[in-house]
Amino acid sequence: MNKKTKIISVVNQKGGVGKTTTAVNLSTALAAINKKVLLIDLDPQGNLSTGLGIKNEDRKINVYDLIMVEKISIKKALINTKIPYLDIVPSGINLSGIEFELSEDINRNKKLYNKISTIDSEYDFIIIDCPPSLGILTINSLVASDLILVPLQCEFYALEGLAQLLKTVEAVKNNLNPDLRLEGIVLTMYDSRNRLSIDVINDAREHLGNKVFKTIIPRNVRLSEAPSHGLPAILYDRKCMGSEAYIELAREFINRVEAV
Ligand SMILES: Nc1ncnc2c1ncn2[C@@H]1O[C@H](COP(=O)(O)OP(=O)(O)O)[C@@H](O)[C@H]1O
Ligand SMILES: [Mg+2]
């Protein structure tokens, strides 16, 4: 594989914190500056695939086959989206049974890594949208990744669960992928009228320091409307506050990643 391809897990075992929204809009912002991006939809819910307008009939070969079928390569499983420079390996409904199917397989944690590491990749970034759990799928993503991005919703209890996530990351580092790095925490759904939102930001900065991205994603209804149009918010409404924030996040992300 081309050494310069960076593989990123967007991960948080809580649902509804902005993983998929972050994956799709960060990817689109990167593609817009001519970075070649491959998205992998690892959530059985398939929200990422739907949000990019990928129809069910186009998901016949999907991430389930990629993980489970020896001869299915990334190249076979991916679809070009309507956005230049942005491809996706879509989710499939049978993905929800995979934890059970793989439970006895001794190589279960390296399935995705084995596929990703063998491609001769022309991508600058491979971004993996994880499901809301710390099960086999998320472990596969962490084993295959260089970096981790953790979206954290600006709500009460936001930091709860983070310790468990970081413990899992440490375990993966110690046993399976020593080079894995927590790149950063992205604060999402910030509401300036809500005191709790401000408390969460202060808490996160106090505990996690410069791991927290400077860019904060505001709560913005345009971000939640976009998926029903099969579009990233950045294309649905380029000028809304949410889109502007994700474009800024992409800039900060690139600066961080390229500084290393
Ligand atoms: N910044 C935001 N402002 C408003 N709605 C948001 C924002 N981020 C995400 N949403 C909405 O919140 C819900 C959960 O977000 P999602 O990205 O799907 O989270 P996850 O992938 O972690 O489950 C979705 O309906 C999404 O459209
Ligand atoms: Mg999601």
209-225 pLDDT, tens per residue? 999 999 999 999 999 99
Higher pLDDT, 157 or 241: 241
Measured torsion, CA atoms of residues 54, 33, 142, 65, in degrees rounded to the nearest 10: 30
In a domain, 1, yes or no: no
Q: What is the mean pLDDT of residues 132-150?
A: 97
> Residue 93's pLDDT is what?
87
In a domain, 31, yes or no: yes
Q: What is the mean pLDDT of residues 169-174?
A: 96
**Among 11, 17, 21, which is best to mutate for testing ligand 1, by the most ligand atoms less than 8 A from CB?**
21
In a domain, 207, yes or no: yes
In a domain, 29, yes or no: yes
Q: What is the mean pLDDT of residues 17-27?
A: 98
Q: What is the mean pLDDT of residues 174-179?
A: 96
Which CATH number characterizes residue 246's domain? 3.40.50.300
**What mean pLDDT is reported for the chain?**
94
Residue 207 has pLDDT above 80, yes or no: yes
In a domain, 108, yes or no: yes
Which residues span the domain enclosing 244? 6-259
Residue 131 Cα, ligand 2 centroid: separation in angstroms?
6
Residue 211 Cα, ligand 2 centroid: separation in angstroms?
22
Q: How many domains would you assign to the chain? A: 1
Q: What is the mean pLDDT of residues 79-96?
A: 95
> Residue 3's pLDDT is what?
59
Please give the Cα distance from 85 to 59 (Å, whole number). 19
6 lines ligand 1 (CB under 6 A): no
Contact between 19 and 189 (Cβ < 8 Å): no
Distances (CA, A) of 38 to 30, 78, 204, 251: 11, 8, 30, 18
> Residue 119's pLDDT is what?
76
